[in-house]
Amino acid sequence: MEDARARLNRFAPYLAKAFPETAATNGIIESELVAIPAMHRRLEKESGAPLPGTLLLKKDSHLPISGSIKARGGIYEVLTHAEKLALDAGLLNLNDDYSILLEPRFKAFFSQYSIAVGSTGNLGMSIGIMSARIGFKVTVHMSADAREWKKSRLRSHGVTVVEYEQDYGVAVEQGRKAAENDPNASLLTMKTPAPLFFRLCRGRRAPEGAVCRTGSCGGCGSPALCLSAVRRGRWPWWGWRLG
């Protein structure tokens, strides 16, 4: 967790300039934390008991840059890959101001490398937008159920989008084959060695005084309750509670 936080902090000056929508949070990919009193009252009514404190919702479904719960995880993976390449090449030092990554020499360096990802939309959006911005050649292999507006948005950022009539599994497999044929290519998926799901919440602490009620953060230490996950019934309703 500390390693991830340190890396995100190193990249914060770069992100604040590369994506102005993150300037207000000083380049940290963060979402709004809002009170949900109507849900609070409903839960008290259904349980027949008072629920002390304030029930809060962490809106990771509205993260900046790509606008989905997978923004932080996908972007983190791209940044980790970019950092390793630049460090290994002697172009970057851990003590540098990472906003230097906006310099043309870094874009030229990263353009030697390719990123591939298979996605129905959200993961491809985060990896595609971040990869293209930093300078990678990036291809998103999208399955038939991907939304048209997501494809259009990716293309507007300079991402190559390859469409398939089949499902997600086919898109991922085709992305893998494409990466295998290119020695400078890397495939990023939800099944990479450092699982992206673990990166979704990694590197961020709960608000002061917040108590984890989800038990669904995988032990990463940052129990964010995601609006999207609630809608899909993947996590219980309780999240951060103050008091």
What per-residue confidence (pLDDT) applies to 130? Answer: 96
Distance (Å, whole) CA 234 – CA 85? 36
Q: What is the mean pLDDT of residues 111-138?
A: 93
What is the helix (H) or strand (E) element at residue 166, kind and residue range? Answer: none
Judgement on whether residues 151 and 236 belong to the same structural domain of the protein:
no
Residue 180: give the domain boundaries: 1-25+69-187
The residue among 163, 213, 187, 167 whose CA lies nearest residue 58 is 213
Judgement on whether residues 126 and 176 belong to the same structural domain of the protein:
yes
Least confident of 5-14, 47-56, 115-124, 213-222: 213-222
What per-residue confidence (pLDDT) applies to 197? Answer: 41
Within 145-199, strands assigned E span 160-163, 185-187
230 contact partners, CB below 8 Å, separation of at least 6: 57, 237
Judge contact between 179 and 186, C-beta under 8 A: yes
In a domain, 50, yes or no: yes
In a domain, 203, yes or no: no
- pLDDT of 225 strictly over 70: no
Q: What is the mean pLDDT of residues 146-172?
A: 89
Judgement on whether residues 49 and 111 belong to the same structural domain of the protein:
no
Judgement on whether residues 41 and 154 belong to the same structural domain of the protein:
no
- pLDDT of 243 strictly over 50: no
What per-residue confidence (pLDDT) applies to 190? Answer: 56
79 contact partners, CB below 8 Å, separation of at least 6: 7, 8, 11, 130, 134
In the DSSP assignment, the letter for residue 148 is H
In a domain, 204, yes or no: no
- Lookup: tokens for 193: 């060695």
pLDDT in tens, 140-155: 998 888 889 999 999 9
Q: How many domains does the chain have?
A: 2
What is the helix (H) or strand (E) element at residue 73, kind and residue range? Answer: helix 71-88
In a domain, 202, yes or no: no
What 3-state class would DSSP assign to 203? coil
In a domain, 177, yes or no: yes
Judgement on whether residues 118 and 146 belong to the same structural domain of the protein:
yes
- Lookup: tokens for 90: 């002697």
Judgement on whether residues 39 and 123 belong to the same structural domain of the protein:
no
- Lookup: tokens for 105: 């020499």
Read off the CATH number of the domain in which 98 is found. 3.40.50.1100
pTM: 0.75
Judgement on whether residues 80 and 113 belong to the same structural domain of the protein:
yes
Confidence of residue 233 (pLDDT cuts 50, 70, 90): very low
Judgement on whether residues 73 and 105 belong to the same structural domain of the protein:
yes
Judgement on whether residues 80 and 142 belong to the same structural domain of the protein:
yes
Residue-averaged pLDDT of the chain = 80
Report CA Rg, the chain: 19
